[in-house]
Amino acid sequence: MPELDGGGCIYGLEYQCRALCSFNTADSEERASFLVGTQSIKADNQIHWLEYDEEGSIVRKKRVWIHSEGEIWQLSSCPSSSGDGLFLSVFTNAERKRCAQVWKLSSNPEEEQSLSRASQGMGPKEGDSSSDEEILSATWHPFESNKLISVSRNSLSIHDIQEDKSTPGPTSKKSMSFGSWNPHQNASTFATVHEHEIRGWDLRSNESVWRIESPGSHIVRSLDFNPNKQYYMASGGDDGRAHIWDVRMSDSSPLGSYDFGHSHWIWSIQFNQYHDQLLLTGGSDSLVALSSLSSLSSEPYGEEGEEGDKSLIEDGVIRIYRDHEDSVYRAEWSTVDPWTFASLSYDGRLVINQVPRGVKLKILNLV
């Protein structure tokens, strides 16, 4: 039986929420920090910048910005070190159309960490019925801070925020909902979700290069590529199971399908960026699961060293966290602390937890 746990550090927001991402600037890398965006239709929405103090086991509010553009559906920070202080929001505007905006955090101390627009807005322009398609989601390029890709219902667009221009990408007759950028092979591949189907696109030719069908034709709700093991990808969705795929074998079954304790949809699945045997999932059953898949990770598995493989964590659920009372839409690892993660439920509850100490010591081969 996996360990059951509550007792994480809780921060409550006034409005409903779906958007969460890790966010640290160059001068704030000592502690894990996160952005949370609200989704209210009656009031100005907000972006909260929160910092986790591990020593005091508390969550501190660093800053709150008003996001008057509309309800926030997604937040994503730039992963490149050259994109310090950059993040994007995907939101519904006053005309109920989905758009995106890139923001830049001011580095001037006199401006009290104010936000400014770092580019032209992407998506439909208010009052212009002939403007671009709605943007359902957007993803930063893994290495280039000036590039991101947006997903519309039937097309992808690649945006250069430095040049302030957009280039058409692949198109699909089958509707798309979101996607994930493959960080390997010079980030030349992007995966999109089409309900129960996942497609890989070569961005150099705009051609589909592989296609995966979700087991049982269940809708896919989340997708993530293993950052340390080429070709490996995780998906989660309406069957409540985590699936690991090798995209080179797209016509076959997944490498593994795992029950991590979820009784309903998985809305979020994410590999740990540093220790990819650790997998984080969150679902509409209000649970967050921390699991291990050592056998499919980049870590050696089944090969003992001189003193045995002390760092081996067996496959399966490590701990289930029951801090939430509503659907968990996002569960995110910190980008600066590999042992800290946050989860966000629809009722506005953010919870920050850590990998159990015993697991951490075992992975570091200190026990």
Q: Which domain holds residue 90?
A: 10-121
pLDDT at 303: 52
> Which DSSP state fits 261?
S
Alpha-carbon span 87 to 23, nearest angstrom: 8
In a domain? residue 30: yes
Tens digit of each residue's pLDDT (9 = 90 or more) over 156-172: 999 999 999 999 999 99
pLDDT at 306: 42
In a domain? residue 36: yes
pLDDT at 114: 78
Query: How many angstroms separate the Cα of 309 from the Cα of each of 2, 278, 301?
Result: 22, 17, 8
Looking at the structure of the chain, the number of domains it has is 1
pTM for this predicted structure: 0.93
In a domain? residue 276: no
pLDDT at 305: 45
pLDDT at 178: 98
- Concatenating the DSSP letter of every residue in 286-329 gives S-EEEEE-GGGSSS--S---TT--TT---SEEEEEE---SS-EE
pLDDT at 110: 53
Hey, what amino acid is at 246? D
In a domain? residue 32: yes
Let me know: does 149 contact 176? Beta carbons within 8 Å: no
pLDDT at 6: 60
Let me know: does 196 contact 220? Beta carbons within 8 Å: yes
pLDDT at 120: 83
In a domain? residue 224: no
In a domain? residue 50: yes
Residues in the chain predicted with pLDDT less than 70, given as ranges, are 1-6, 107-113, 126-132, 301-311
In a domain? residue 252: no
pLDDT at 109: 52
In a domain? residue 332: no
